Chains A and B, each alone.
Chain A
Amino acid sequence: MASEESVSTADQWVGKSVPRKEDKRHLAGASNFVADIRLPRMADVAFVRSPTAHGRISSIEKPEEHADRIFLLTDLQPLHPISGGPEMATFRNAAYPPLADEKVLFVGQAVAMCIGCSRAVAEDIAETVFVDIEELESVMDAVGALEDGAPKLHEEWPDNSFVDATISEGDIASVADAPVKIRRRLKMNRQATNPLETRGVVAYFDHRLDELVVYTSSQGPHVMRHGLSLALGMAEHRIRVVAPDVGGGFGGKNRLMPEEIALAALALKVDHPVRWIEDRNEHLTASVHAREHHYDLTLYAREDGEVLGIEGTVHVDAGAYALWPSGPFMETSMAARNLPGSYRVRHLQIETHTSATNKPPIGPYRGVARPGACFAIERMIDELADELGLEPVEVRRRNLVGPELMPYRTAGGLRLDNGDYPQALSQALGMVDLPALRERQHRGEPDGRKLGIGFAIYTEQSGHGTAEWVKRKSRVVPGFETATIRMLPDGTVHLLVGIQSHGQGLETSLAQIAAQELGLDPSAILVRHGDTALSPQGFGTFASRSIVFSGGAVAKASRALARKIKSIGAHLLQVPLDQVIVRGGAVHCGGANVAMKEIARAANIRPEMLPAGLGPGLDVTETYEPPESGGVFSYGVHAVTLLVHPVTGVTEIIDYVVVEDCGTLVNPMIVDGQIIGGVAQGIGTALYEEIPYSENGQPLATTFGDYMMPCASEIPAFRIKHRVTPAESTEFGVKGMGEGGAIAPPAAIANALNDAFRGSGAKFLETPMTPRRVSDAVAGARAGEQAA
């Protein structure tokens, strides 16, 4: 909640669409991404990568003329395997080696690294390395991976399962006789995260400081430093990790990857800086992959549309290894726990399987598990509506958790804190004029296309802390954030945060929070982040946590600083402390005031002016965790209207409405930017993006010629309405909202396609709904009709 102090200032920066501080350097072409770092004698690295999905390495031959520029795992020792995944006895470890040495487990896995004076020369050398691989049968399907007799990736395991678990609530048997039962198989296919800046590492040893410096395009440098320390067996104080400008992450830059360890180890072996910039081909074939969920679900319901229970299985195709620190289990458990969505369903019984396959490891991607879960449950709701002949919106209304039930613990064990879901649905409905669209649908389109309207509702757990991450058995528990606020002698401010911003605009929104608390203009506050040598401990930006945690830490540190500023100001004004306020760059008491810069001068360079007993300096560090450790839930309703061609299957979105509630908005312009960007990525998941594999494990989308990234022609303009239900437990009532946009689009778009072809029997149960899939679904339904 807003403190007394903040209320008493006139500087209301929270809630203002302040243009971003970050923009200037980017617009000038003067930003500094990893690939832009220039160091003397820096050499480029290229990796030799496996052409085989599953095989045993017989030998790796270094040609003699390049032998000193080719490095294998044995050349990088000492290195220590680091286990990713939850700290659970039942979770099987599969440490991801920086370079493969015994087996290769997917096409694209790094086997050796080569140094050249340019990337082209390094690639030339890489082409001369001969890797002899005895090919083994590959495992390409998450469900088939667990069948008896499937070849095993990790020979010490009994089968290909990382972990199997059951998520259970209520008593599913009690609803087994429900009058309505619907069973569907759904699938969300594999994709890559595709920030426009690929990953990249520059590493060198700084002899002056006796430290290893690693620049890496990362979402959380402190955690990466810890991981590097474990992997290298090197004291953490001798490692500095810097994430400079980072060109998007979306989850894909939030795991310690083999190339980062390999480059760091290499920098300790050679006497010059080394650089590796991931190319797009590497990104698509060997970086963090995401999604790939299989659902087999049965929905139990009454004839009036009330959903009673959900039963079934979830398989997540987790790829070959567990990424450090969290591994793939969270994907599966979150998918199962989020299946009840925003509904009052009380019986849940989900078997979950996290399968190892001969594909790159999966990691987090915007929305983590929830785009799949939302797709599954929201599609099932529409399937139920079809079965009962009801408007899908009506079925939703009958099942939504109402505000009178909040806080509400779902069958998945999530505590929905507040908000008004039914009202949000009504609001979205009001924005699309459903009767008019139904009328248009009835009339038909002059060009033969079909009109469809689809809805989806999502919730977004955000700002969850220690208790939640401990429940997930996480080996790194991101339960707090830290902020150091430091006022310099002229009254300007350095704000050092452990959070990392890579497009979210935190340099602006955190400055707004500090400005509000300190009675300053945000331009007087410089936010620094992304450098372990500079900023205090933090975990980085992911899980919709930054504004809750880091915003809270900044508010807390700023308030502590403001208290000291007021003490000094009261002393300088010779008035009682309880009569002063900070406002407009000064401490005020009635008509009298003393400028902040006078106070800063006193505290920093004129200690004789300070009150007796008060130490010098204006430098405060605070950590923060919100009191509600299970997180606060943003939510929203998406309503999409589209036109789809029944023969070619080409879809065009003609209207996209978002009604969302993320509590208090710190910077509404940035919030809208996050929503729109998230929805655009969700549209990519829904309609375009996919990395299919051949039966023998060859990736079939290895360039942007095959992997379809949505462009401005594919993404519509959006209409957004905000509801504001402030969180009760966070500073200012904020909730995280970075991921929500990406959660609902696959569900909403699939429901719109279903709507367009309602009654035809065409099913839309697999993403992405490419023209081919849509066309095949429609044609398949026609063929079925004729056969019947």
Chain B
Amino acid sequence: MKPASFDYVRATTLEEAVGVLAADDGVTVIAGGQSLLPMLNLRVTAAETLLDITRLEELKAVRETGEQVFIGALVTHASIEDGIAREAFGGLLQRVASKIAYRAVRNLGTVGGSVVLSDPSADWPACLLALDATAVLASASGQRRVALSEFLVDAYETALEPGEILTGFEISRRNAGGWGVGKVARKSGAFADSLAVAVLGRAGQATRIALSGTASCAQPMARVAALLDEEPGAQAEQLARAIRADITDAHEEATPYQERCHLHTVMSAITEARQSWS
């Protein structure tokens, strides 16, 4: 279980990194490597050249302003777990980070790496989708911003263009209402069979709920979110109907078990969010 050969280059600045990417389309970016290296070891994926971006200090930053929070793509799960940006969204980021895989993996695994992979079961895509985050992308020709709902395209597929690097996420503070998380996994640290993150709207902002564990990427639960905005006191039966309709869209050909899990995690996330809100 050893990877096939590849070349390795290390960038120390973003400019250098996007330069390498622009010059050669056979380059794969590696950050924490906690998903990519197992796949390389198993030879289920291969790379011509790995571009190591772990020394790009500007991507490790967390910048908080009155309006928004910027989380660098290279911020590790562990540093969020340990309290970086703890106050930003009432502890939501910390809660999500602390349940990803295992500590030794969280020490190197990054938020950006998790989102760029767009694994259908991953934690961050659902969380950041529920927070309506914006992905910030850099390339030799400049920077662009893409809403996460558009950035995530499908399982293992994103809107990242050749030559682009994800540098981080901007999240509006306006979205910081009550939140809740529901997760079902076969055991501790395993990928989620279902993961739901609910962020209740505040001051006229829309409620957003996202679901991981589908056959594609993280999906919005639009109907139930809208219902909660229209009828904040909606009862369980009413919510369940909306959630079921959302699941039908979010997860094609879901097994009955997956449907039950999704319904459960979404409902749990909403319940927790309501409790944290009141």
Touching in the complex, A and B, CB below 8 A? yes
CB 8 Å contact bits of B200-241 with A (1 = contact, 0 = none): 000000000000000000000000000000000000000000
A688 in complex: contacting residue of B2, B3, B187, B264, CB < 8 Å: B187
Does B191 belong to the interface (CB within 8 Å)?
A: yes
Contacts of A710 in B (CB 8 A): 187
Closest to B4 in A: A124
Known: A124-B4, A280-B1, A772-B257. A713 touches B43 (CB 8 A): no
For the complex, give the distance between the alpha carbons of A417 and B17 in Å: 74
| Contact between A775 and B260, CB atoms less than 8 A apart | yes
B256 touches A771 (CB 8 A): no
Q: Using Cβ atoms and an 8 Å threshold, which residues of chain B touch A711?
A: 187-189
Which residues of chain A are near B260, meaning CB under 8 Å? 647-648, 775, 779
Question: Per-residue 0/1 for B258-269: is the Cβ within 8 Å of any A Cβ (1 yes, 0 no)?
Answer: 001101100000
Question: Nearest chain-A residue to B194 (Cβ)?
Answer: A648
Minimum CB–CB distance for A114 against chain B, Å:
13
Q: When chains A and B are docked, how far (Å) is the Cα of A118 from the Cα of B187?
A: 35
Residues of chain B with a CB closer than 8 A to A280's CB: 1
Most chain-B CB neighbours within 10 Å: which of A281, A710, A775? A775
A123→B191 contact, CB < 8 A: no
B132 CB-CB contact with A under 8 Å: no
Measured between alpha carbons, how far is A714 from B189 in the docked complex, in Å?
Answer: 11
Please state if B187 and A708 are interface contacts (CB–CB under 8 Å). yes
Tell me if A705 and B191 are in contact (CB < 8 A).
yes
Contact indicator B42/A771 (Cβ below 8 Å): no
Those of B179-203 within 8 Å (CB) of chain A? 184, 186-191, 193
Cα(A540)–Cα(B184), bound, Å: 43
Q: How large is the interface on A (under 10, 10 to 19, 20 to 34, 35 or more residues)?
A: 20 to 34
- Cβ of B5 under 8 Å from chain A: yes
A650 on the B face (CB < 8 A) = yes
Q: Which residues of B contact A703 (CB under 8 A)?
A: 38, 42
Contact partner of B184 among A118, A771, A776, CB < 8 A?
A: A771
* B186 & A688 in contact (Cβ 8 Å cutoff): yes
Assess A123 versus B187: contact at CB under 8 Å? Given A280-B1, A647-B264, A648-B261.
no
- Please, how many angstroms separate the alpha-carbon atoms of A127 and B2 in the complex? 12
Question: A703 CA to B256 CA in the complex, in Å?
Answer: 26
Tell me, rounded to whole Å, the shortest Cβ–Cβ distance linking A278 to chain B: 10
Could you say which of B190, B193, B260 has the most chain A C-beta atoms within 10 Å of its C-beta? Answer: B260
Contact B256 A776 (CB under 8 A): yes
Contacts of B4 in A (CB 8 A): 120, 123-124, 127
- CA gap between A619 and B7 in the complex, in Å: 61
Contact with B along A695-727 (1 / 0, CB 8 A): 000000001010010110110000000000000
Are the CB atoms of B187 and A281 closer together than 8 Å? no
In-complex Cβ contact of A648 among B3, B42, B188, B264 (8 A): B264
Query: Does A770 interact with chain B (Cβ within 8 Å)?
Result: yes
Query: What residue in chain A is nearest B188 (Cβ atoms)?
Result: A713
Report how far A714 CA is from B190 CA in the complex, Å: 12
| Chain B 1-38: CB-based contact to A (< 8 A → 1; otherwise 0) | 11111000000000000000000000000000000001
The residue in chain A whose Cβ has the minimal distance to the Cβ of B193 is: A771
Please tell me if A21 contacts chain B, counting CB pairs below 8 Å.
no
Is A387's CB within 8 Å of the partner chain B?
A: no
Determine the distance from Cα of A705 to Cα of B191 in the docked complex, in whole angstroms.
8
Closest residue on chain A to residue B102 by CB atoms: A711
Interface residues in A403-441 by Cβ distance below 8 A to B read none
Do most interface residues of chain B lie in helix, strand or loop, or is the interface mixed?
loop
B191 CB to nearest chain A CB (Å): 7
Q: Determine whether the beta carbon of A120 is less than 8 Å from that of B188.
A: no
Q: Distance in Å from the Cβ of B194 to the closest Cβ of chain A? A: 8
Beyond A120-B2, A120-B3, A648-B261, is A714–B187 a contact (Cβ under 8 Å)?
A: yes
- CB-CB under 8 A from B184, the residues of chain A are 648, 650, 771
Q: Considering the chains assembled together, what is the distance between the CA atoms of A649 and B186 in angstroms?
A: 10
Judge whether A119 is part of the interface by a CB distance below 8 angstroms.
yes
Look across to chain A and name the residue whose beta carbon is closest to the beta carbon of B258. A772
Report whether B187 and A279 are in contact in the complex, using a CB–CB cutoff of 8 Å. Answer: no
Nearest chain B residue, comparing its CB with the CB of A279: B1
**Complex interface residues of chain A between 730 and 788 (CB less than 8 A to chain B):** 770-772, 775-776, 779
Closest to A118 in B: B2
Query: Do A708 and B257 contact each other (CB < 8 Å), given the known contacts A123-B2, A281-B42?
Result: no
B265 CB → nearest A CB, Å: 8
Q: Which of B186, B188, B261, B264 has the most chain A CB within a 10 Å cutoff? A: B186
Q: What separation, in Å, do the CA atoms of A708 and B255 have in the docked complex?
A: 20
A residues in contact with B188, CB < 8 Å: 711, 713-714
Query: For A123, what are the chain B residues with a Cβ–Cβ distance below 8 Å?
Result: 1-2, 4, 43
A122 to B, closest residue via Cβ: B2
CB-CB nearest in chain B for A709: B187
Return the chain B residue nearest A277 by Cβ: B1
Most A C-beta atoms less than 10 A away, residue of B3, B184, B187, B261: B187
A713's partner among B2, B5, B187 (CB-CB below 8 A) is B187
Smallest CB–CB gap between B148 and chain A, Å? 25
**A670 to nearest B CB, angstroms?**
28
Output the least CB separation between B181 and chain A (Å).
14
Tell me whether A776 and B257 are in contact (CB under 8 A).
yes
- Cα–Cα distance between A714 and B188 once the two chains are bound (Å): 7
Which B residues are in CB contact (< 8 Å) with A772? 193, 255, 257
Give every chain B residue within 8 A of A713 (Cβ-Cβ): 187-189
Interface residues in A634-661 (C-beta closer than 8 Å to B): 647-650
B257 partner residues in chain A, CB cutoff 8 A: 649, 771-772, 775-776, 779
Residues 84-125 of chain A, each 1 if its beta carbon lies under 8 Å from chain B, else 0: 000000000000000000000000000000000011100110
The closest CB in chain A to the CB of B5 belongs to A124
| A-chain residues with CB within 8 Å of residue B263 when the two chains form the complex | 647
Closest residue of chain A to B186, judged by CB? Answer: A708
Contacts of B261 in A (CB 8 A): 647-648, 771, 775
Chain A residues, Cβ within 8 Å of B264: 647-648
* Contact A119:B186 (CB < 8 A) given known A647-B260, A776-B257, A779-B260: no
Residues of B within 8 A of A119 (CB): 2
CB distance from A559 to the nearest CB of B (A): 50
Interface centre among B255, B256, B263 (most CB of A within 10 A): B256
Binary interface encoding of chain A residues 438-449 relative to chain B, with 1 for a CB under 8 A from any of its CBs, else 0: 000000000000
**Which B residues between 143 and 200 are near A, CB-CB below 8 angstroms?**
184, 186-191, 193
Q: How far is the CB of A422 from chain B (nearest CB, A)?
A: 36
**A282: nearest chain-B partner, CB-CB:** B1
Tell me, rounded to whole Å, the shortest Cβ–Cβ distance linking A448 to chain B: 10
Bound form: Cα–Cα A770–B261 in Å:
13
Nearest Cβ on chain B to A767's Cβ, whole angstroms: 14
Proximity bits, A676-696, B CB within 8 Å = 1, else 0: 000000000000100000000
Residues of chain A contacted by B3 (CB below 8 angstroms): 120
Which positions 246-283 of chain A face chain B at CB distance < 8 Å? 279-281
Query: Which residues on the A side are within 8 Å of B189 (C-beta)?
Result: 711, 713
The answer to whether B2 touches A771, judged by C-beta atoms less than 8 angstroms apart, is no
How many Å from the CB of B239 to the closest CB on chain A? 15
Q: Which residues of A contact B1 (CB under 8 A)?
A: 123, 279-281
| B190 engages A708 (CB within 8 Å) | yes
Q: How far is the CA of A124 from the CA of B263 in the complex (A)?
A: 46
**Which residues on A sit within 8 Å (CB–CB) of B193?**
771-772
CB closest chain-B residue, reference A650? B184
Q: Per-residue CB proximity of A325-354 to B under 8 Å, as 1/0? A: 000000000000000000000000000000
Please name the 7 residue pairs, one residue from A and one from B, whose CB atoms are nearest each other, closest first: A120-B2, A713-B188, A279-B1, A772-B257, A648-B184, A647-B264, A708-B187
Apart from A120-B5, A649-B257, list 7 A-B contacts with CB within 8 A: A120-B3, A120-B4, A123-B2, A647-B264, A713-B188, A776-B256, A779-B256
Listed A/B pairs (25) with beta-carbon separation below 8 Å: A120-B2, A120-B3, A120-B4, A123-B2, A124-B5, A127-B43, A279-B1, A281-B42, A647-B260, A647-B261, A649-B257, A688-B187, A703-B42, A705-B190, A705-B191, A708-B187, A711-B189, A713-B188, A713-B189, A714-B187, A770-B186, A771-B184, A771-B261, A772-B255, A772-B257
Q: Chain A: residues with CB nearer than 8 A to chain B? A: 118-120, 123-124, 127, 279-281, 647-650, 688, 703, 705, 708, 710-711, 713-714, 770-772, 775-776, 779
